[in-house]
Chains A and B, each alone.
Chain A
Amino acid sequence: MIRKSTLFTLLALLFLLCWYALSSKNRFILPNPVDVVQAASNHWLLISKHAFVTFSEMALSIVLSLSMAIPLALIMYSLPNIGGFIQGLFLLLKAFPSFALSPLIVFWVGFGKAAILIPATIMLLFPLTIGLYRGLHAAPQSMVDMFRCWRASKFQIFTYVQIPYALPQFFSGLRIALGLVGTAVLAGEWVGSEEGLGYLLLEAKEGLNIPLAYASLVVLFCFSLLFYLVGICIEKGILHRLKLGSIAQILIASFLLVSCSQQSDKPYTLMLDWTPCPNHIPLIYGESQGYFEERGIPLQIRTPGSHDPLIAVSSGQISACVSHLQRVFRAIDQGADLVVIGVLVDSTLNGLLIQGEKTVSDLNGSRIGVVSKSASKTCQALFARAGIIPSSWVTLRSDSLTALISNQVDAVWGVYPNIEQVQLASLGHKTTYMSVSEFGYPKKSYELVIVAQRGSALHKQAEAFQKALQASINESVAHPQEAFEVYLNRFEEKRGNTVDWERVSWDKTRPLLTHTQEIDPEAYNALHLWLQDAGIISRK
């Protein structure tokens, strides 16, 4: 008979071999294990920093959910009517995808640890509470009767009989929770965090540093496995009367190590429209040089994660965000009370990237990748006017470049010549860029503007903000090298293989930045009219 450990090793080896074999097909999408290990060793400091955050979030969610589950299960047990009701409620809650709760919770509690811990805790609460609650019913009636005959008090029956009999079920609940906690925390990190392995995973993917993404995934997997094993150890430990000191110490230590989230005391937050890229360098530079602060606007810049910045501003979670004027019009059309308080790029950047060297007519019968349904609306309107008939529209979410490289689409919509095209070029992919203005879209469409809520504190300081913003743009253009360094220091994950193309990208971005904060009313109205004509916004 093969020993269990041998079998396990063999399976792991087989897995690695399969991985290696598969990765030879397209190493960009699936880097081989060696690439991943290399990425991990190159970025070990970055990974360990984010890993620490995730680990402490996992530990804290467990502690939090335990501290709620135990009293809850006891209440359910001691009040059977309520207990049955809560159990039913929990079964409903189990069917509810808590994963989907994360983006909404951000609106209620804002960004930061709470946005991660609350959904995670809710997710873990179910197996823990139900495990303990059912466990409390597990004691044999004859044993309870025996104690009643001995005139034992209710408390004695509880501690001598019911608690010990509840442990196996409680621990199987705990084991499930410990297996879930990785997923639970990841869900939150994708939405409401600027740190942690989930965040690193997204960032690495956006930066097309796929090996780093896989490395983060592997670390996350190891954590989940570790927690699961700890669960099994505790279970076996208690049930078989082993010493638990060491495990408890590890858990308590990790709990204590949880760094208090460093909430900034800066009152104004500005959310970027996307993963940090050279378009944002003036903002980052201005923030670091204090151009905003010296004009009475202490500003903190945030990355959006997978969140929609306009919604974040509308909900008041964020003071301002970077957005595309067209999106702002659409949001206002939908009832958002937003106002443009600054300009970053006034021209039109948005366009199509097509594989290889192509012309407009080549788009007929091709597959067009779009980031979202709403983006495809504009694109369809433009194509209709230009008489282009593509074979299909593919919604890609955020993975437009991967889709292009892996040949899932022939062209992608919604990309910038100074960002995505440069990035693809650095990977050796030749593409043709076509600006949307070539299809009749206004040339001056204010691609990147800063938006705030109408009547907000920041809106009232719009004039000072514009001065600070223009100063940031002018100074970063005047000191391109210094500004780029500041940007790299702010986003450590940029160091590594993304630096080179971003440097090129920054060179291409500088000429695109606006020279004035004045919005040209003619261009503004022209865009508004065009959007109305295309049926993208209503005629109000």
Chain B
Amino acid sequence: MNLDIDSISFQYEGRILLNRFSLQLSPKTVTVILGPSGVGKSTLLRILAGLETAHAGDVRRSGSIAYLPQDDVLLPWKTVRENILLPLTLQKKSASLETLHITPLLDLYPNQLSGGQRQMVAFERFLLEDKEVLLLDEPFSNVDAYIRIQLLNRLKTYVESGKSALLVTHDFQDALRVADRIVLLSPGGSTQLFDEVVPKASDLENAMSSCYI
């Protein structure tokens, strides 16, 4: 087990976002979190990344954590290459980037890229960090469908090497494509877990339609 979330709760301005939420992330699994916006999906990831503190409960991290937020997180005054190497530079390390899929973009600046390309770059940097637990918050919202499928497949393959991933998305199809397990977050902090086997699309659809009302 790479990460053990033990009954955490979180409130924001008096509103309950997470209510005794528990989840374990085992190696080689992709867990997808689905749910309407404002339900606390991003907050959950921020708590796991250590950027917020849960008001109750406990998070036990046995593996190192990498976090890919939803926003654009490339420094505009650095090239793609410098941006990708940034986490390593901070630790005074370096790496070769020639094997990456985005080699033609390496010497461009972020403002020369499309929104989708920027997300691809951020994703590459995220994988390069080589951490045990991967937290992804809507990482491919601007990427077109074809590339998105490829990136999801890469994530899936990458996780096979013993990592665990927690992916927040609002895209139903993406969720079905990549998930080993799906957690459905509803307003008020209640959760439904579709475990072990990915549920049939219709089951999930029913569950979702009820929580979106």
B69, A146: Cβ atoms closer than 8 Å: yes
Q: Which 4 A-B pairs have the closest CB atoms?
A: A142-B71, A150-B87, A146-B73, A149-B67
Interface size on A, residues (CB 8 A): 16
Q: Which residues from 365 to 401 on chain A have a C-beta closer than 8 Å to any C-beta of chain B?
A: none
Decide yes or no whether A22 CB sits under 8 A from chain B.
no
Q: Which residues from 127 to 151 on chain A have a C-beta closer than 8 Å to any C-beta of chain B?
A: 140, 142-143, 145-151
In the complex, how many residue pairs between chain A and chain B have their CB atoms under 8 Å apart? 41
Closest approach, in angstroms, between the C-beta of A336 and any C-beta of chain B? 62
Q: Which residues from 141 to 182 on chain A have a C-beta closer than 8 Å to any C-beta of chain B?
A: 142-143, 145-152, 156, 160-161, 164
B73, A143: Cβ atoms closer than 8 Å: yes
- Which residue of chain B has the shortest Cβ distance to A238 in the bound complex? B77
B86, A150: Cβ atoms closer than 8 Å: yes
The answer to whether A161 and B90 touch (CB under 8 A), given A145-B51, A149-B50, is: no
Interface size on B, residues (CB 8 A): 19
| Chain B interface SS verdict (over half) | loop
Closest approach, in angstroms, between the C-beta of A167 and any C-beta of chain B? 9
Q: Interface residues, chain A, CB within 8 Å of chain B?
A: 140, 142-143, 145-152, 156, 160-161, 164, 241
Please give, as numbers and ranges, the residues of chain A lying within 8 Å of B65 by CB-CB distance: 149
Decide yes or no whether B49 CB sits under 8 A from chain A.
yes
Closest approach, in angstroms, between the C-beta of B87 and any C-beta of chain A? 5
Q: Mark B80-123, 1 if CB is under 8 A from A, else 0.
A: 00000011001100000000000000000000000000000000
Q: How far is the CA of A156 from the CA of B51 in the complex (A)?
A: 17
Q: How far is the CA of A241 from the CA of B129 in the complex (A)?
A: 29
Closest approach, in angstroms, between the C-beta of A168 and any C-beta of chain B? 11
Please give, as numbers and ranges, the residues of chain B lying within 8 Å of A147 by CB-CB distance: 90
Decide yes or no whether B33 CB sits under 8 A from chain A.
no
B75, A149: Cβ atoms closer than 8 Å: no
A160, B75: Cβ atoms closer than 8 Å: yes
Decide yes or no whether B66 CB sits under 8 A from chain A.
yes
Please give, as numbers and ranges, the residues of chain B lying within 8 Å of A161 by CB-CB distance: 75
Which of A148, A150, A164 makes the CB contact (< 8 A) with B77? Answer: A164
B90, A150: Cβ atoms closer than 8 Å: yes
- Which residue of chain A has the shortest Cβ distance to B109 in the bound complex? A241
A sample of 5 more A-B contacts (CB under 8 A), given A145-B69, A149-B50, A149-B65, is A142-B69, A143-B75, A149-B66, A150-B90, A152-B90
List 5 A-B residue pairs with CB atoms under 8 Å apart, sorted by A's residue number: A142-B73, A143-B71, A149-B65, A149-B67, A160-B86
Closest approach, in angstroms, between the C-beta of A239 and any C-beta of chain B? 8
A149, B49: Cβ atoms closer than 8 Å: yes
